[in-house]
Chains A and B, each alone.
Chain A
Amino acid sequence: MAKKVTRTLFKRDFLYTLYSWGYYAAIFASFLVSSFILKNFIDGIREEDILVSAYPLHQPLYITLIIISIYLVIVSAISISREREQGTLEVLFYGPVTAGNFLWSKYFKDLLLGIIALGFTAVYFYLVSCLTNLGFTTGLIKALFMGVFIISCVVSFGLFISSLTGRIRSSVVTLLAILGAFLAVQFAYGALLGLGEEATISLPLLYLRQTLSYIFQGINWISPFAFLSRGLDAVVLESWSLYLANIVYCLIYSLIFMALSIFTMNRRGVKA
Chain B
Amino acid sequence: MNKKIAFFVLAGILVLGGGISWAQAPLFREQLVYSLTSFDGSGFSKSFCPQSEETLYFIANFNSVVNPRKTIVYYWPITRRYMAGFSTLNEEVPGKLEIWQGGKLINTLEKQKYVLYYPEGYWSEKATIYLGEDAQEYYDEYKAAVDEFNKKLQEYYQAMNYYQQQLNNFFEEVRRRREAGETGPLDISIPQQPEPPEFVKFYVTEPAEGFILNLPVGNYEIRVRMEDGTIFEGSEKNLVVFTARRREGVGYEIIPGNRWTKRENCDDPSWIIHAVGKNELYFNPFYQEEYNELYYNKLKDPQNIGRLEKWKWVHVDPVDDAQVLLGRGEEILQTVDKAPYFVKQVPGPELGYEIIPYDEELKMSGYQPTFESYKVTLGEDLVGADYQISTISRETGEHIPKSERTIRFLKKENGAYLYAVAFLPLVAGAIIIISRSYRVEK
Residues on A lying within 8 angstroms of B by beta carbon are 18-21, 23-25, 27-28, 31-32, 34-36, 38-39, 42-43, 45-56, 120, 123-124, 127-128, 131-135, 139, 193, 197-198, 203, 206, 213, 236-238
User: CA–CA, A39 to B416, complex, Å?
Assistant: 7
B424 touches A120 (CB 8 A): yes
Could you tell me which B residues sit within 8 Å of A by CB distance?
A: 80, 246, 254, 256, 258-259, 264-266, 268-279, 281, 293, 297, 304-310, 384-386, 406, 408-412, 414-419, 421-426, 428-430, 432-433, 436
B254 touches A206 (CB 8 A): no
Which residue of the partner chain, among B293, B408, B415, B422, contacts A31 with CB atoms under 8 Å?
A: B422
10 smallest A-B Cβ distances: which pairs? A24-B429, A198-B305, A31-B422, A27-B425, A48-B277, A35-B418, A131-B414, A42-B415, A32-B422, A24-B425
Residues of A within 8 A of B273 (CB): 50-52
Q: How far is the CB of A192 from chain B (nearest CB, A)?
A: 9
> Can you report 11 residue pairs joining A to B where beta carbons are below 8 Å apart?
A28-B426, A31-B425, A32-B422, A42-B415, A43-B415, A49-B279, A50-B256, A52-B272, A54-B272, A133-B408, A133-B410
Contact B271 A53 (CB under 8 A): yes
Q: Assuming A52-B254, A197-B297, is B424 touching A127 (CB within 8 A)?
A: yes
Is there contact, CB below 8 Å, between B272 and A48? no
Complex CA distance for A43 and B268, rounded to whole angstroms: 23
Chain B positions within 8 Å of A51 at CB level: 273-274
Q: Which residue of A lies closest to B427 (CB)?
A: A24
Q: Contact partner of A131 among B281, B305, B421, CB < 8 A?
A: B421
Chain A residue contacts of B428, Cβ below 8 A: 24, 120
Q: Is the CB of A132 within 8 A of B271?
A: no
| Set A27, A53, A123, A139: member contacting B274, Cβ < 8 A | A53
- Closest CB-CB distance, A237 to chain B, in whole Å? 8
Extra 14 A-B pairs, beta carbons < 8 Å, given A27-B425, A36-B419, A197-B304: A21-B429, A24-B426, A25-B429, A35-B422, A42-B412, A49-B275, A52-B265, A132-B411, A132-B412, A133-B384, A135-B272, A193-B307, A197-B306, A237-B246
- Residue ID in chain B nearest A37 by CB atoms: B418
Bound together, the chains give a CA A18 to CA B435 distance in angstroms of 13
Interface centre among B266, B418, B426 (most CB of A within 10 A): B418
B277 proximity list for chain A (CB < 8 A): 47-49
Bound-complex Cα distance A113 to B343 (A): 58
Q: Which residue of A lies closest to B430 (CB)?
A: A24
Known contacts A131-B417, A133-B408, A238-B270; A25/B426 CB under 8 A: yes
Residues of the B chain whose Cβ atoms lie less than 8 Å from the Cβ of A27 = 425
Q: Is the pair A35, B421 in contact by a Cβ cutoff of 8 Å?
A: yes
B418 contacts A132, C-beta separation under 8 Å: yes
